[in-house]
Amino acid sequence: MTQSTATQTKWIRKSFIGETKLPVVYEPKEEREVQDLIHWVRQNQKEWRDDLENYGAILFRGFPIHEAADFQSILFATEEKLGEFYLGTSPRDQVVKHVFTASELPPHYPIMQHAEMSFLDNPPKLLFFYAEKASETGGETPLTDLREIYKEIDPKIKEKIEHHGIRYRRRYDGPSQKARFSLWKTKRWDEMFGTTNLEEIQKISDQNRFHLDWFGKDSITITNEQSGFRVHPKTNTIAWHNHSQTFHYQAAVSEVWKIFKKQKTIRSFGVAALLTLLTTIKRILGPESHDVHVTYGNGEEISAREMKSISDVFWKHLVAIPWQTGDVLIIDNLSVSHGRLPFTGPRRILVGWSE
């Protein structure tokens, strides 16, 4: 790989890939055991945390990390309060107590850039990814510096969000619902809340300022409002921090055509063409038919033109580095977003987070 700069800290070498400084790469200068890395992370908290605050993400590459248990041991070494309750929309499976599959969405479907659970009052502080099995092609977890996004977003869009915030609406089917097909479908509400107890669900919703609307046989709509920006508690920097570029009905179409230009495959063209058709149908049916929807906090729709403008800024700053099996990536969730590019072949990325 091309290294633009490099420094050394004892037996770990730090560098960057190409000209980008997102992420900073940590590699062993010599063959080491996973316990060496675990010990180093525990004993050098200030060093790696300073790098994380400055650069937004750290990639540990070339270490002998072979399984989920190794990965979880690294998580414990960070001395963070690790999460195990996921209030997001993507389907995922728990592997060990604090480790989950990153997403079970189909491989042809992209995941747009987002800060994890940005629609919550208290989203995760740090995200941890582990490439247990890198895909044959594609499958990168691209990153974007949200501090740079905030600086470059159209001032008119920024002003609207500053005044009104962002409003989210998510629809969830229940355990008694028959399966239905939708490329934008969320998981079931009992899977998200982890219970079918309605009192417990209401309690969790009250804690997170969710407004619940039950409808039909067993479905629920969750609405909540959130600021579209966040100030980092340690660096005091402001970052773009919302799910507009993920939940907007136009976002996926904008994303897949950009991916087609990047990958230039028949499959990516087919996905882009299909999503264009389905998005046209969604626009005709209106917002009430969408499984996920996002507006400005006052209810004003985010226009397709505004959404394209946001997407263009993200792609200008997007960094997509191919996974290597055994990689571990730490992301400052208040400064850097992530996503997923389509892929072929077996791929298994695991994730954990801190509260």
Q: Which helix (H) or strand (E) holds 306?
A: helix 304-317
Tokens 């005091």 identify what position? Answer: 236
- CATH number attached to the domain at 3-138+317-353: 3.60.130.10
User: What's the pTM?
Assistant: 0.89
Domain limits, the chain? 3-138+317-353, 148-314
Handedness of CA 235, 113, 326, 85 (dihedral sign): positive
String of DSSP letters for 27-45:
EESS---HHHHHHHHHH-H
- As its CATH architecture, domain 148-314 has 4-Layer Sandwich (3.60)
Question: How many CB atoms are located within 10 Å of the residue 351 CB?
Answer: 24
Q: Would you say 350 and 138 are in contact if contact means Cβ atoms under 8 Å apart? A: no
Question: How many CB atoms are located within 10 Å of the residue 22 CB?
Answer: 21
Question: How many CB atoms are located within 10 Å of the residue 10 CB?
Answer: 8
For every one of its 355 residues, what pLDDT tens digit does the chain have, with 9 covering 90 and above? 444 444 556 889 999 998 889 999 999 999 899 999 999 999 999 999 999 999 999 999 999 999 999 999 999 999 999 987 777 767 678 898 889 998 778 888 889 999 999 999 999 999 999 999 999 999 999 999 999 999 999 999 999 999 999 999 999 988 887 765 555 556 889 988 989 999 999 999 999 999 999 988 789 999 999 999 999 999 999 999 999 998 888 888 888 888 888 888 888 888 888 877 877 777 777 666 678 899 999 999 999 899 999 999 999 999 999 999 999 999 999 999 999 999 999 999 999 999 8
User: Do 3-138+317-353 and 148-314 agree at the fold level?
Assistant: yes
Half-sphere exposure of 351 (CA within 13 A, CB side): 23
